[in-house]
Amino acid sequence: MSKVLVIKAHPFNGDKSRTIKTLDTFLETYQAKNPDDEIESLDLFATNFPELDGSMMAAWGQLANGTAFTDLPADVQKVMGQFNDALAQFKAADKLVIANPMWNLSIPAQLKSWIDAITVVGETFRYTATGHVALLPEKPFVHIQAAGGKYEGQDLGTQYVQAALEYLGAKRFAKIGVEGMDHFPDQADQIVAAAQEEAKTVASKF
C-alpha cells in the first residue's frame, strides 16, 4: 500500500479549473487501479498555507538558540506548525501529485511557500564540501499544470517544480500539461479532454 500526497495549488475546484478537472480525472483512475492506496490531499488555498516571512525566520533563530517552541508567540507557533506538518507529510509520502495553474509565467505563491516548507537542511537535503545531497529516496511525482498558452515544458513553473523536487531526491514521473486554451479558445474543450486522457494513461502506470 502506498501513501499518495496530493498538493492542490488552486483556489477553485474542477467545475471552474482545468488544472483540477485534470487532477480529478487522474485521481479517479489512480484510485480505481490502486484501491488500497491512501490518498491524502493538502489544499494550499483552503488551509491558507503561510509564507516564509521575517517572524518565521526570526523564530528559527530563537529555536536554534534554545528557545522552546511553546515559548514562541502563538501566531508564530501556528504558522510554524503548518510548515512542520507539511514537511512531515511530504517525508511520509511514497508518491506525490502536484497540481497548479500557470500564473504570470510562474506558479502560485502558495506552491512556492509549500516548497519552502519541505526544503529543510538536515531533513530533506544537506550540504557537503562537494555540494548538496538529497536526503529522500526517489519519490516519484506527477506534475499537472494548466496554462493559457503552449509551453511544452519550456516554462519556468514546470522547470522550477522539477528542479526543486529533484533537489530533495524526488523524481519526476510525468508532467501533464493542459495548454493553449486561452490562445486557441475554439479548441479548449478538446485540449482539456486530451489532457484528461493523458491523465488516465499516466495514472494507470503511476
Per rule CB under 6 A, is residue 103 in the interface with ligand FMN? yes
Decide whether 51 or 94 has the Cβ nearer to ligand FMN: 51
CA-wise closest residue to 19 among 6, 30, 31, 10: 10
Burial of 41 (0-12, 13-18, 19+ CB in 10 A): middle
Beta-bridge mates of residue 142: 97, 174
Adjacent-strand bridge partners of 145: 100, 177
Residue 104 labelled as part of a binding site: yes
Of 14 and 169, the one with the shorter C-beta distance to ligand FMN is 14
Place of cell 509520502: 93
CB of 157 to ligand FMN, least distance (A): 9
Residue 114 beta carbon to ligand FMN: minimum distance, rounded to whole angstroms = 17
Tell me if 114 is assigned to a ligand binding site. no
Which residues are bridge partners to 127 per DSSP? 132
Say whether residue 10 binds ligand FMN (CB under 6 A).
Answer: yes
* Cβ pair 23, 8 in contact under 8 A: yes
* Residue 14 touching ligand FMN (CB under 6 A): no
According to the binding rule CB under 6 A, does residue 25 interact with ligand FMN? no
The answer to whether the CB of 141 falls within 8 A of the CB of 100 is no
Tell me the closest approach of the beta carbon of residue 8 to ligand FMN, in angstroms.
11
Task: Say which residue the cell 491558507 belongs to.
Answer: 48
Report if residue 146 touches ligand FMN, rule: CB under 6 A. Answer: yes
Instruction: Report if residue 168 touches ligand FMN, rule: CB under 6 A.
Output: no
| The residue type at 25 | T
CA angle 191, 201, 14 (to 5 degrees): 50
One of 7, 8, 19, 97 touching ligand FMN (CB under 6 A): 19
Q: Is 102 annotated as a binding residue?
A: yes
Binding site for ligand FMN (CB under 6 A): 10, 17-19, 101-105, 146-149, 181-182
Pick out the residues of the known binding site for FMN.
102-105
Query: Binding site membership: which residues?
Result: 102-105
